[in-house]
């Protein structure tokens, strides 16, 4: 395997940031996210009489749901569309005819998209946080910052899975379709499936928890709630079981799971592309 | 400069290239010639390390499978279909690829001037004409001064005038010592630019010959559709047939098959017979060695 050159990756990161800044999809997604984040901040404060006490917690809890819905949609679609559309147009072929490797191309594009999504998250969380700081003070801001970090990990997971979809799918339409289906699966079908299976098979609580954390969105939710609340009572028996079983090791364990969800699809994408030849 | 040994490429059960071998010494201009689907583009993609294949390819002394990046540093590639980012300006595009190729200190003004794109440096790539895009692709291919140029059907999207200019530029590059490998199915292009022709058919290297020998090897024919006055239609067919040419009425024109280096012959014959020609179309035709299409 040829040596990976940081300069090539950095150049592609810059290219991706420039391209996503001009992408209509990305701009629409970002504006929607920022608008909804601001709306949640305003609603969170309105609900407590604008005193700010508990404003961050309340808004952060609402933001968890916004992130769960929007960030995977954005990441999966952007990840799937980026590589597949460039391959379809022949641009990827031209890029790879230059002194650059497939691994560098995937890593550079992935990192560029990740940083673009980080910018969107920072703008959304930042605007919403600023409103709360200006009106209500800075209580519980640490939990809010950790939520941004978990949201970024979720964005990176979505992009990683999206990249794998692009590598495996034949065309950009198929890639986008598959990305939307997987988003639907992560957001709705997985939960319903686990609930249904748990009832039919009378699953024990440990198996139920294991099944739930197979879904990266659930891992994000558990980690975020744990960080915001300090316990998992709000998640019911499975949450209490997880907290009692793993104790202080739970948060590092969940973070590790999120990181594995980033690395595994990305490494498979690189492996498959290199074996196949990329174009 | 380029060595290809037993190049074989399979797509499932389909064999796209079957044990293709050839060497190209430095400074030579070689045409890969063949009909659509012969495997010309696949050869180039394998040579650039863009596809996995069986066999061995060396570019400038580097194995493209194990040292692809090093090998590609010595190659400037012009693809058949250009697809740079359409929202990027000409200058942005050249700057990006110059950094990717690690071309060092580059005088972008001079490069764009040479490519005839000085006035379009701030134009988006998507706004350029076919000829301008092709010149830009060539300018980018020449960044970092590679020894080898690979061009996949480089003039397929150009008008006759643009084609002529492009071939002239390539001939100048050949004089400067570049090694050129290009794919084409235009006889004129091969005759004007190539020292040597590699003929591919259904993934097999069928001939390695000079451009002059090309039509003899394959029996390639050019088909002309000549338009004459309706009342002279039958007479024109008869005269051409009497001159030993294969001529048939076809719609509002007459189809005539001629050897690629004698395309003027039917015009002279008809003109001598006093038949006025008011238009014509040129179609390249392929035949098997037994003379059938």
* pLDDT tens track for A213-263: 788 998 998 888 888 777 676 677 677 777 778 888 888 999 999 999 999
> How far, in Å, CA of B202 to CA of B196, rounded?
20
Cross-chain Cβ contact A94/B84 below 8 Å: yes
Residue showing tokens 């492996």:
A271
CA torsion A126-A132-A135-A137 (nearest 10°) is -100
Chain B residue nearest residue A104, CA to CA: B69
Yes or no: say if A66 and A37 are a contact pair by the CB < 8 Å rule.
Answer: yes
| Contacts with B75 from chain A: Cβ below 8 Å | 97
Count CB neighbours of B243 within 10 A: 16
Min Cα separation B203/chain A (Å):
19
From residue B240, alpha-carbon distances to A90, B137, B232, B254, B287 in Å are 46, 44, 12, 10, 21
| Contacts with A99 from chain B: Cβ below 8 Å | 69-70, 72-73, 100-102
Asked if the B221-285 domain carries CATH number 3.30.70.2750, the reply is: no
Q: Could you tell me the fold of the domain covering B2-218?
A: Rossmann fold (3.40.50)
What residues does each domain of chain B span? 2-218, 221-285
Residue showing tokens 């060092």:
B104
Residue showing tokens 């499975």:
A238
| Contacts with A91 from chain B: Cβ below 8 Å | 83-85
Which of B69, B78, B88 to mutate to probe the A interface, most A CBs <10 Å?
B69
* pLDDT tens track for B202-238: 899 988 988 878 766 655 567 788 988 888 888 899 8
Residues B19-45 have a mean pLDDT of 91
Chain B residue nearest residue A97, CA to CA: B48
Min Cα separation A111/chain B (Å):
17
> What is residue B8's DSSP assignment?
E
> How far, in Å, CA of B61 to CA of B3, rounded?
9
Residues B100-108 have a mean pLDDT of 86
> How far, in Å, CA of A75 to CA of A80, rounded?
8
pLDDT class of A38 with cuts at 50, 70, 90: confident
Paired strand residues for A231: none
* pLDDT tens track for B168-207: 889 989 999 999 999 987 777 888 889 999 999 889 998 8
Q: Is ipTM beyond 0.85?
A: no
């Amino acid at each position: 395997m040829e040596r990976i050159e940081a300069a090539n990756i950095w150049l592609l990161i810059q290219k991706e940031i420039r391209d996503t800044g001009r992408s209509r999809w990305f701009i629409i997604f970002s504006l929607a996210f920022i608008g909804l984040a601001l709306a949640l901040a305003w609603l969170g404060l309105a609900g407590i009489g604008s005193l700010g006490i508990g404003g961050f917690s309340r808004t952060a809890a609402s933001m968890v749901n916004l992130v769960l819905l929007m960030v995977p949609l954005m990441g999966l679609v952007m990840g799937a569309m980026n590589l597949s559309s460039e391959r379809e147009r022949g641009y990827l072929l031209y890029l790879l005819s230059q002194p650059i490797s497939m691994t560098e191309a995937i890593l550079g594009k992935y990192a560029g998209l990740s940083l673009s999504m980080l910018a969107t998250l920072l703008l959304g969380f930042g605007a919403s946080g600023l409103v709360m700081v200006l009106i209500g003070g800075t209580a519980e801001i640490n939990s809010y910052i950790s939520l941004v970090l978990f949201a970024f990990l979720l964005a990176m997971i979505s992009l990683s899975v999206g990249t794998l979809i692009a590598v495996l799918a034949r065309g950009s339409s198929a890639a986008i379709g598959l990305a939307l289906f997987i988003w639907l699966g992560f957001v709705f079908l997985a939960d319903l499936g686990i609930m249904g299976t748990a009832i039919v098979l009378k699953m024990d609580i440990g198996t139920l928890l294991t099944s739930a954390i197979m879904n990266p969105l659930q891992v994000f939710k558990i980690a975020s709630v744990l960080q915001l609340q300090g316990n998992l009572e709000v998640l019911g028996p499975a949450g209490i079981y997880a907290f009692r079983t793993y104790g202080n090791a739970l948060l590092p364990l969940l973070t590790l799971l999120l990181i594995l969800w980033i690395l595994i699809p990305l490494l498979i994408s690189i492996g498959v592309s290199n074996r196949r030849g990329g174009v | 400069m380029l060595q290809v040994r037993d190049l074989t490429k399979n797509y499932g059960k389909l064999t796209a290239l079957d044990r293709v071998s050839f060497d190209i010494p430095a400074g030579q201009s070689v045409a890969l010639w063949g009909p659509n689907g012969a495997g010309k583009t696949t050869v180039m993609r394998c040579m650039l390390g863009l596809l996995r294949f069986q066999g061995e390819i060396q570019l400038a002394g580097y194995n493209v499978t194990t040292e692809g990046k090093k090998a590609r540093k010595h190659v400037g590639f012009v693809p058949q279909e250009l697809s740079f980012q359409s929202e990027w300006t000409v200058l942005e595009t050249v700057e990006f690829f110059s950094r990717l190729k690690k071309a060092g200190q580059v005088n972008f003004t001079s490069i764009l001037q040479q490519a005839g794109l000085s006035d379009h440096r701030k134009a988006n790539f998507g706004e350029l004409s076919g000829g301008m895009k092709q010149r830009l692709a060539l300018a980018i291919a020449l960044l970092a001064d590679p020894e080898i140029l690979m061009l996949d059907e480089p003039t397929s999207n150009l008008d006759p005038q643009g084609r002529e200019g492009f071939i002239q530029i390539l001939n100048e590059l050949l004089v400067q010592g570049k090694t050129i490998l290009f794919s084409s199915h235009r006889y004129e292009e091969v005759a004007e630019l190539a020292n040597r022709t590699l003929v591919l058919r259904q993934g097999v290297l069928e001939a390695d010959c000079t451009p002059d020998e090309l039509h003899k090897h394959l029996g390639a024919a050019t088909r002309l559709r000549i338009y004459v006055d309706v009342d002279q239609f039958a007479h024109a067919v008869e005269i051409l047939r009497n001159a030993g040419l294969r001529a048939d009425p076809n719609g509002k024109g007459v189809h005539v098959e001629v050897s690629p280096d004698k395309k003027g012959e039917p015009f002279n014959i008809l003109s001598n017979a006093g038949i006025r020609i008011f238009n014509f179309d040129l179609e390249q035709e392929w035949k098997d060695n037994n003379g059938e299409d």
